[in-house]
Amino acid sequence: MNITNAFSFRKTSLLVALAAMSAFSAGAAQPAKTTGGIAIEQAWTRATPPNAPVAGGFLTIRNSGDRADRLVSVTSPDANSVEIHQMTMEDGVMRMRKLADGLSIDARSIVMLKPGGYHLMFIGPKRPIVEGGTVTATLRFEKAGTREVRFDVRALGSSGAKPQH
């Protein structure tokens, strides 16, 4: 590349270099975070009353890769089990059902798990879930492998609908 080209393409080259550097450093430091293009954002749960049998888990799953993936299972040291649920309206009643085959994440898509939609269900919390605390879980994806996720506990609040299991 001669000097003129070097100057013309300096910005592009810089961007390419930065992209290469960030890809390299991310890959070197945190290989699990980039594999499969799956990233987890904004994980939270709600404080529960004492002895509540379940607690919802909400988060955003971003798939920046060009292949679909699937959230297949979730485990947590803070609950007896964790299920992947979908909330649906049946005969005018909000109901939750377990997604036995997990939750598919299309290539280059964002799936939000939120109140009233898809969510995680912490079954049998092993300790009180209190505001300001955290709940941890391991999400396992079919292709991207596992992700350790920390859910921030927000205030006990109503989202309106009282779902039935």
# of chain residues touching Cu ion (CB under 5 A): 3
Least distance in Å: CB of 13 to Cu ion?
50
- Strand pairing report for 69-75 and 38-46: unpaired
Letters for 26-65 (x = contact with Cu ion by CB under 5 A, - = none) are: ----------------------------------------
Site track 110-129 with Cu ion (rule: CB under 5 A), x = hit: -----------x--------
CB of 28 to Cu ion, least distance (A): 38
What is the C-alpha separation between 110 and 123, in angstroms, rounded? 25
Q: What is the C-alpha separation between 54 and 157, in angstroms, rounded?
A: 15
Q: How far is the CB of 114 from Cu ion (least distance, A)?
A: 12
Listed residue (71, 103, 76) closest to 87, CA to CA: 103
Nearer to Cu ion, 4 or 158 (CB): 158
Amino acid at 87: M
Beta strands in 64-144 (DSSP E): 69-75, 79-90, 93-98, 103-105, 109-113, 119-125, 134-141
CB of 140 to Cu ion, least distance (A): 19
| Distance (Å, whole) CA 73 – CA 120 | 10
Least distance in angstroms from the C-beta of 119 to Cu ion: 6
Nearer CB in complex with Cu ion: 2/164:
164
Beta strand 54-63 pairing with 119-125: antiparallel
Please list every residue from 68 through 107 that binds Cu ion, using CB under 5 A: 85, 96
Which residues are near Cu ion by CB under 5 A? 85, 96, 121
